Structure 1
């Protein structure tokens, strides 16, 4: 059956899934609107800590995806909860980031400071376009003096309309290089935000949807949730084939319209082949062999699914797979409709 009918809640990433920068991603509004019409609830779970849920909900609504602030879970909220696990209310926290992180930290009962000279109990760092050397330096001074260091996430890159840009993990790297201290991270791949969202929604059958294997899908595996990888952001179909067990998706789709479709399961066949409808794949002497039509999106996806089944089976059996022999697996983009 379609995923929107199989699962009652989708935990959907934002950057690279619903939008790219300020631009909508093809099929996002259609896919999410159709999923909601079939009874699936949606909560957007993002490693971006720069904005408040109200701002995120407003952007999504403007892109044709009606969203309430309560349907947005940010890494800023997860970071604030992580702080609350150790610090007493009223503790001082040096915030390096945007308005969303400041709001979440204050809402958790902490005093926000801006200077290491105020002797903060903790430093929390999240991405914001305005973060620069002065804020990073204050964070380094405070961490060097013993403040607990927390990051909203460790994503090295961030998809934008113009391409890949440095993410929070890259900015955290500057403070880490200066201090030698690695922060505790509240964001994905930790499943903490997923569990918070599920607790809020009261759901039972949960599907995590994301574009990055090392954060979204790794978090799904860590939290015990089914994961859908959409090929609209950072990780590629080739990355799926080469994925480590802890990052493997349960489903693969071109974009969010895949929520409205059933997903065929590859099955083993003779001579080591794995078959998915008209597509087939196997690993022979470390080389991935592919067979089947790839002209359309559905046919190309079936090749990817069969390739993943064959490659993962070989890897789990201890059979070597030559990564250099795994081609780029292009899935054509279909127009809205």
Structure 2
């Protein structure tokens, strides 16, 4: 019998928003799933593109939700953004911060000097999500970027999942500055490598697994970093999104939630499934045999379609079991 997915890895990188929690609520089964990771002796790194909070605030939030967490286990895009700046700039360089006090602190902690105005002659701009930003903050950044300042974005997530639904993310505000400056930023967070590389290095991991809900950040980041990934269906992206994903955003495994970490590796892998038969014609036709569940159908569909093509596809169930699975997955 094959081991679990977790058995193959020595560090698990967990996205937060949409994977572990949604705003102030834990995702179902997150608590017991993460506790089992710790019990197995596998290291955990909470890897978040949210740059608005200091790492201790993230720890406090996780503890408040009932999880055991330490500062060493948290890697934020604010830390990654500041690290990118420190690699490119001499100590004492002035950096215009478009973001939270937490982002300012990360910049200052690495020997740079955070400022808030173009008149302070910044040589770089760093941008992260903060709900108190004003038009004036973006005006100052626009002037600095147009004057030649290095522009680093902590992340480029267009949306942020919360208990209220999807809200504008830092990527939406990056687009504002991109439109105003005709420039593109260096991105530190997922899907770029700095944040993930930093997290793996801090854990001393050799066999990491990235776990997340977003194809364009979590899964694409894993692909760029050359590490396997598990997509969970508790956040932004849907089964159809996964089926129609471009090669750069394709997960290796998929599960409903974090319980997939403890499932047999062969059962969560995107591959042919013994209970489902999939044929590819002018569209994609699914026929069922046995009593497989809908996630097995999704894994089989992805394996078949990714081998044949990519992008939008018509999916047809050819018997009652298949049609029921497609309805449950909302890809009929």
Report SS of the residue matched to 1:234: coil
Partner Cα distance (1:154, 1:265) in 2: 32
Shift of 1:128: 1.3
Partner Cα distance (1:32, 1:122) in 2: 38
Shift of 1:325: 4.0
Shift of 1:322: 5.1
Q: TM-score, normalised by structure 1?
A: 0.89
Q: Deviations along 1:99-129, whole A, 9 cap, x unmatched?
A: 2211111111111101111110101000112
- Of 125, 128, 131, which aligns to 2:130? 128
- Of 99, 102, 108, which aligns to 2:101? 99
Aligned length: 320
Matches within 5 A, 1:61-140: 61-140=63-142
Partner Cα distance (1:110, 1:322) in 2: 47
- Of 23, 26, 29, which aligns to 2:28? 26
Aligned: 1:174 with 2:185? no
| Contact 2:285-2:316 within 8 A present in 1 as well | yes
The residue that corresponds to 1:56 in the other structure is 58
Q: More deviation in 61-70 or 255-264?
A: 255-264
Q: CA RMSD in A?
A: 2.2
Q: Deviations along 1:212-267, whole A, 9 cap, x unmatched?
A: 11111111111110100000111111111111111111110111111111133699
Partner Cα distance (1:136, 1:147) in 2: 14
Aligned: 1:277 with 2:274? yes
- Seen in structure 2, the aligned counterparts of structure 1 residues 101 and 326 have a Cα distance that, compared at 3 Å, is farther
| Contact 1:96-1:135 within 8 A present in 2 as well | yes
Aligned: 1:314 with 2:308? yes
- Seen in structure 2, the aligned counterparts of structure 1 residues 279 and 13 have a Cα distance that, compared at 3 Å, is same
Report SS of the residue matched to 1:36: helix
Q: Give unpaired runs (5+ residues) of structure 2.
A: 318-325
The residue that corresponds to 1:198 in the other structure is 200
- Of 294, 311, 329, which aligns to 1:300? 294
| Contact 1:292-1:303 within 8 A present in 2 as well | no
| Contact 2:283-2:314 within 8 A present in 1 as well | no
The residue that corresponds to 1:186 in the other structure is 188
| Contact 2:47-2:195 within 8 A present in 1 as well | yes
Q: Give unpaired runs (5+ residues) of structure 1.
A: 269-273, 333-337
Q: Deviations along 1:171-211, whole A, 9 cap, x unmatched?
A: 11111111111111111111221111111111111100011
Q: More deviation in 159-168 or 134-143?
A: 134-143
| Contact 1:228-1:250 within 8 A present in 2 as well | yes
- Seen in structure 2, the aligned counterparts of structure 1 residues 329 and 208 have a Cα distance that, compared at 3 Å, is farther
- Seen in structure 2, the aligned counterparts of structure 1 residues 162 and 203 have a Cα distance that, compared at 3 Å, is same
